[in-house]
């Protein structure tokens, strides 16, 4: 009997997720929306998603729980990781891919503050 080491792209969860009541708070709603996004993207394990998100799988798990609000970079990495997973595994772009504005709004509604991106300096004319 072979063991699954968590590296298969999508499989049933290693242990059941704790339910979240999205009506209980804006933070719980954000957690549920992150879980829904992951499910819509093929339900990769958190370990697999972490390879696409570039952060530790435990931080991803914390982001989708109804507890303390994670930092914006964690939420952003979770969302981008889901999108990248779909592109790599299903060779398509998921709906909304690349548009973080709805996620920024959800994060603000949950009580978070999204850092402003510094404007890129204008390109100067380069001598030929």
In a domain, 45, yes or no: yes
* Token output for 85: 């997973």
In a domain, 121, yes or no: no
CATH number of the domain enclosing 50: 1.10.260
Q: Number of folded domains in the chain?
A: 1
* Token output for 23: 């009506």
Range of the domain at 84: 26-109
22 pLDDT above the threshold of 80: no
CA–CA–CA angle 121, 123, 128 (5° rounding): 155
pLDDT, tens digit (0-9, with 9 covering 90-100), for 73-122? 999 999 999 999 999 999 988 888 889 999 999 999 999 999 887 555 55
Q: How far is CA 119 from the centre of its chain?
A: 24
Which residue did the predictor score with more confidence, 3 or 119? Answer: 119
Q: d(Cα 53, Cα 127) in Å, to the nearest integer?
A: 40
Confidence (pTM): 0.77
In a domain, 54, yes or no: yes
Helices (H) and strands (E) in the chain, counts: 5, 0
In a domain, 12, yes or no: no
3-state secondary structure of 8: coil
Q: d(Cα 81, Cα 87) in Å, to the nearest integer?
A: 10
């Amino acid at each position: 009997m072979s063991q699954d080491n968590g590296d298969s792209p999508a499989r049933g969860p290693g242990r059941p997720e704790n339910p979240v009541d999205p009506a209980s708070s804006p933070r719980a709603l954000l957690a549920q929306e992150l879980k829904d996004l992951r499910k819509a993207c093929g339900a990769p394990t958190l370990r697999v998603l972490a390879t696409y998100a570039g952060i530790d799988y435990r931080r991803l798990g914390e982001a989708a729980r109804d507890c303390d609000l994670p930092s914006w970079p964690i939420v952003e990495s979770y969302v981008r990781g889901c999108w990248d997973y779909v592109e790599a595994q299903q060779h398509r772009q998921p709906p909304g891919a690349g548009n973080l504005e709805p996620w920024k709004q959800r994060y603000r509604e949950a009580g978070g503050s999204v850092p402003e991106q510094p404007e890129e300096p204008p390109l100067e004319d380069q001598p030929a």
